[in-house]
Structure formats: C-alpha cells, structure tokens
Amino acid sequence: MPSNQEIARVLQELVDLMTMAEGSKQAFRVRAYEKAVAAVQALPGAADEMTEAELVKVPGIGKSTAAKIREYVDTGEVARIVDLRKRFPAEMMEMTRVPGLGPKTVVMLRDQLGIESVDQLRQAIADDAVQGVPGFGRKSQEKIAAAIERLGLHGKDRRTPIAEALPIARDLVATLEAMPEVSRAQYCGSLRRFRDTIADIDIVAASTKPVDVMARFVALPVVAEVIGQGETKTSVLTAAGLQIDLRVVKPGQFGAATLYFTGSKQHNIELRQRSIDKELLLNEYGLEESDGGNVVAAKTEADIYEALDLPYVPPEMREGIGELSLESMPDLVAVEDIRGDLHVHSTWSGDGRSSLDDMVAAAAARGLEYIAMTEHGEDLRINGLSREQIAAEKLEIERLREQYPGLTILRGSELNIGPDGGVDYDPEFLAGFDWCVASVHTHFDLTEAEQTDRVIAAMHNPAVSAIGHLTGRRIGHRPGIALNVPAVFAAAAETGTALEINGHLHRLDVPAELLLQAREMDGLRFVISTDSHHTTEFENIRWGVANARRGWVRRRSVINTLPLGEFLAFVAAKREA
Ligand code: DGT
Ligand code: CA
Ligand code: ZN
C-alpha cells in the first residue's frame, strides 16, 4: 500500500539518521541509502509489489535496503529506524537544519553540554554557555543564533518546510481517498495556499462514517502519537513532531469545510463580513440565511463564492491581501500553459542524476515543446563543465535533436554569478549557447549593496537570458541573500532579463512574497523552471507554477508559456539590443 514516494521518504529518514550515527554524509552506508532513495523515486512500478529478490535487482538498491523496504511494506515500520530515533530524537535531528551545525557538532553538543534541541542551543548561546566548545567562537555563535532566528526553528512558532510537509499530505490524501468510507479528501490550511513553511497539516475528509475513518487514520504508519481523537476532529503527531489535524465532515458540507480550513484567517473574516452584508451566515458547515437557517451553499467552494457574488478565488491567492476586492481574478499562469523547461541538468553536471538521453526522453514524454540543457558552468568546482566537455555534450545534443524532431533542445548553461557579477567562460564562447541562466552559488554573505550590484551586473551581460533561483535560499535551511528587490526587478525589466521561478520544493525561488511586490510591474518577465537533476523532477513544474500563482503571476508575463518562435524572439531581443 505505501507509495514509492512514501518508501523514499522512509529511506530518506534512514539517510538522515545514519548520517548522525556515522558522523558524516560521506559514510559508505549513508551513500548507499541515499542511492536507494533515488532508485525508489525513479522506479517505474510500485515498490510495495516487489519481492526482496526483485528489489535487489534494481540498480542502486542493495540487499539490506531491499530487506528494509519489505519490512516497511509488511509491518509499517523499520526496526533500525525505530532504534535510531531513540538515539537521535526528532528535536536533535532538527538541529542539523541550522547552517554550520553538522552531525558531528550536534552529537558533540549533546555529549559535552547535554544540548538536545534548537531551543536549548539558543538558550545556551544566550547564556554564554557554549564558550570553549570547538567551532563555537564568538563570531560563529552570533551566526548560529542569527540563523536560528531567521529560520524560525524554535518555540511554538516552529514551522516545517513545505518540502517535508507536502509529500506527507499528498500521500495521506491518497490513502484517505482510497478508504471505502471516504468520498473526498483534501489538504487545506497554509499548505494548500502554498506557503513555503507550515505550522501543521490540516486535512478535511468527507464521510458518513467518521468514527471508522478516525480509527483507520490513527492506525496509519505515519502516525507516531495521537494527541486527541474525536468524531469530527483528530490530531496526531508524526515521528518528526509535525502535527496533523484530520476533520471528517458530511459529504454535503465538504466545500464549506475546505473553504473554512484553507483560510487564511483574514480571507475567512472578509468572506464572513461579505456574507453578513447579504444577510447570510458563513461557517465551516455552510452558507445559510441569517433568519431561518436555510442552507444556500455548502457542497463546493465554487458554489459558496458564487452565492456571495464573488469570482472563485484560487487557494494560492486566499491571503486577505485585496483578492476579494478584485472585479475578476487575474489570469494566473497554470500548469497547462507551460510549453518548455529552461533549467535542466543531466549527469554531464557533477550533481545530475539522470543521463542526457534519459532527461531528453522524459521531457519528450511529458509533451514539452522545448527544453534547455543548462549544465553548470566551469566556475562551479566539481560540478561544472569545461569547454571541452561542452563541445562533447554538443555532439550528443545534435544526435538527440535528430532523434526527437518534435522537441526543440536548446544548448545552454547555468552560469555562476561571481562576487563582482562576472560569469563563466568568455563572451565569444557564451555567444555559442542558445540560452543561459545565471545563478548565485557562492558568496552568500555579501552586503545587500554588493549582492544587488553583482546580480544587476550579471543582468547586463547579453548572454544571460535569465537569473536562476534569485535569492539562493534553501527553505528551512539557508536564508536568501540580501537584495534590494525593487532595484533588481527594475533592472530585470530594463535589460530584458527574465527572472526564474524555480520549482524545486527546497527553493521556490523567487519567493512568493517578492513576486507579490512585482504584481503591478508591467515589463518584468518570468520563466518557470524545474532545475531538474533527475527525470522524476520535471514534475516540479507544478510547484513552480503554484508558487507563481501565490505571487499573482499572470500567464502573459511568463515567457515559457510562449510558442517557441516568440520565446526565442525574447532571447534574441536582449542579445541584439
Ligand atoms: P499555519 O498552520 O500557521 O501554517 O497556517 P494556517 O492558515 O493553516 O492556520 P491554522 O492551521 O491555524 O488554521 C487553518 C485554517 O482554519 C486557517 O487558515 C483559517 C481557519 N481558521 C482557524 N482559526 C480561525 C479563526 O479563528 N477564525 C477564522 N475565521 N478562521 C480560522
Ligand atoms: Ca495549518
Ligand atoms: Zn543553481
């Protein structure tokens, strides 16, 4: 029953726990499990239907991993993980999210000072109790304290990155919908609005048998602890301490419930006010007449908006920031509009995990009209491509172009923006590429003025058609670089440089809050890309689009919704300017 995604997640937990146990990401067993995660994600069939012998035959899955997969499928648990969780509790694991805290340091903090959580570390730094511990000089203490604040990793305000929560919620919805008692299920709350971090997962299910549904829910392997179990609401915790609230409602009230629990609170308040003005009453059960209680709408969200004479508001826009005052909704970009993917890596890049042939085949199978292969530029150590490698890759691309006449394969590069705004190669060599995206991969600590200058300098390079993952943030792990955002947006519009909206769930970069700042700007153009390093990651286009929608990005400002000719004209316009 567990999906490949769920199994991959279990193995990923094993990777994280083993990293702690071995003290290094490079340890042999850590690498072995890491390979297995990728192998399971890439499996064409269902892993839970494979025998141990079949699993071992899959490249990347060893004997011990195969046994653990079967153990999980058969028992809903892996004994090794249960053991390791006792040694390294979730709160301790969370400490490794703080930049600068590797597994060895975390273990040392516990062994020497008894520090077992981010909260305790924060307190210890404040009390000046970490002096003398190697790696905790005055300067690094300040850095770590600042990172803890910025990442919101402490106290009741602790938030979980979307990359962790979304797969759990999607699996849970699929599991609930597969139950015979459940007619519909939907994750709601901040996750459905596509915030990049969430406090808890809110799920609504429609059923006439709530007691049965709750009983099945608390028995699922994802549930580590039950906080409260009732007929309409049950709250549980995952092993990582993430809270999940499940509400079961009658099928006829499903729309009213998902609307209410999707929020935001501010959006709900405004909807309720609007209802009162119409002598109606809105709550999680439905929209009814204030006198008499006749139900006007409840089954679907669309029914309720319509009854309030409002256009349907997409979940990503429900923040109470003016969306209910609009005459009509903006023509937001949608997944179906996307024709090309302009940020794609293969094993030619050191960190790519699928071959060029496989990446191109996957892009063609998805029906993409054009892609750009953007391997890392030579300045990126280990992962970058020399000019000779670029020349060799060119031959491969030419062969693939003949093999896939329906797909246009652009030859590109992901260039590295140096501290002064310079990029890889030289102008003549750069002119040979069809499309280049330039990104910040180093020097994250420069001042706002320095970062702004370097990004704008890169925009003035005619070969740079787009800026990749603008802030360089890793959600929940590394904050973005300091930037003068209005100045960067103005320069992008002026130079005809597109801003990438990176769909990787760890990045979602440009962040939606920044996109919202650009919603009145007319000249700015975006490109929504997956930054795929594996064939399965083309799927991330959904998340890039969702992030764009949360930032109110319209279809017409996204250049990879354009037919190929118009898209290439955008690239040419900057080069010829
Ligand atoms: P989170 O969990 O902090 O990431 O953000 P949300 O938006 O998921 O907030 P949460 O989980 O507290 O509540 C889920 C939704 O339920 C919220 O977006 C709107 C609705 N809701 C919760 N409390 C209230 C309330 O006091 N008034 C109204 N109108 N709606 C509420
Ligand atoms: Ca929530
Ligand atoms: Zn990059």
pLDDT beyond 80 at 150: no
Query: Does the beta carbon of 261 lie inside 6 Å of ligand 1?
Result: yes
CATH architecture of 160-249: 2-Layer Sandwich (3.30)
The residue count of the chain comes to: 577
pLDDT tens digits for range 451-474: 999 999 999 999 999 999 999 999
- Which amino acid appears at position 378 of this protein? E
Residues 6+ apart with CB under 8 A from 366: 538
- For 255-267, what is each residue's pLDDT tens digit? 999 999 999 999 9
Q: Give the model's confidence band at 291: pLDDT under 50 very low, under 70 low, under 90 confident, else very high.
A: confident
- 335-576 CATH choice from 3.20.20.330, 1.20.1050.10, 3.40.718.10, 3.20.20.140: 3.20.20.140
| Torsional class of 266: left (φ above 0), alpha (ψ -120 to 50), beta (otherwise) | alpha
- Residue 539 predicted with pLDDT over 80: yes
Residue 131 has pLDDT above 90, yes or no: no
The CA 437 to ligand 3 mean position distance, Å, reads 9
- What per-residue confidence (pLDDT) applies to 42? 84
Instruction: Quote the CA–CA distance of 223 and 19 in Å, as a whole number.
Output: 24
Using the mean position of ligand 2's atoms as its centre, give its distance from the Cα of residue 242 in Å. Answer: 11
* Cα-based distances in Å from 208 to 61, 184, 260: 43, 11, 20
Calpha distance 366→343 (Å, rounded): 15
For residues 518-539, average pLDDT: 95
Mean pLDDT over 295-307 rounds to 97
Centre of ligand 2 to C-alpha 58, Å, is: 38
Q: What are phi and psi of 330, to 5 degrees?
A: -65, 155
Question: Is residue 249 over pLDDT 70?
Answer: yes
Model pTM score: 0.86
Distant-in-sequence, close-in-space partners of 176: CB < 8 Å, separation ≥ 6:
182, 185, 203, 205, 213, 217, 246
Domain ranges of the chain: 4-85, 91-151, 160-249, 263-325, 335-576
Closest ligand to Cα 159: 1
Distance 418 CA to ligand 2 centre (A): 40
- If one residue of 190, 192, 233, 318 were mutated to test the ligand 1 pocket, choosing by the most ligand atoms within 8 A of its CB, it would be 190
Q: Average pLDDT over the chain, rounded to whole?
A: 94
Q: CATH topology of 4-85 equal to that of 91-151? A: yes
Residue nearest to atom 27 of ligand 1 (CA): 265
- Residue 1, pLDDT score: 73
CATH H superfamily, domain 263-325: DNA polymerase, thumb domain (3.30.210.10)
Model confidence at 289, pLDDT cuts 50, 70, 90, reads very high
- How far does the chain reach from its first CA to its final CA, in angstroms? 57
> 4-85, superfamily in CATH?
DNA polymerase beta, N-terminal domain-like (1.10.150.110)
The protein residues having their C-beta less than 5 angstroms from ligand 3 (an ion) are 439
Q: Assess whether the C-beta atom of 269 lies below 6 angstroms from ligand 1.
A: yes
pLDDT in tens, 190-212: 999 999 999 999 999 999 999 99
Distance CA 463, CA 427 (A): 8
Do the beta carbons of residue 287 and residue 298 sit within 8 Å? yes
16-55 tens-digit pLDDT: 999 999 988 889 999 999 999 989 988 888 999 999 999 9
Over the stretch 14-24, which tens digit does the pLDDT of each residue have?
A: 999 999 999 88
> Is 468 a pocket residue for ligand 1 (Cβ < 6 Å)?
no
CATH of domain 91-151: 1.10.150.20
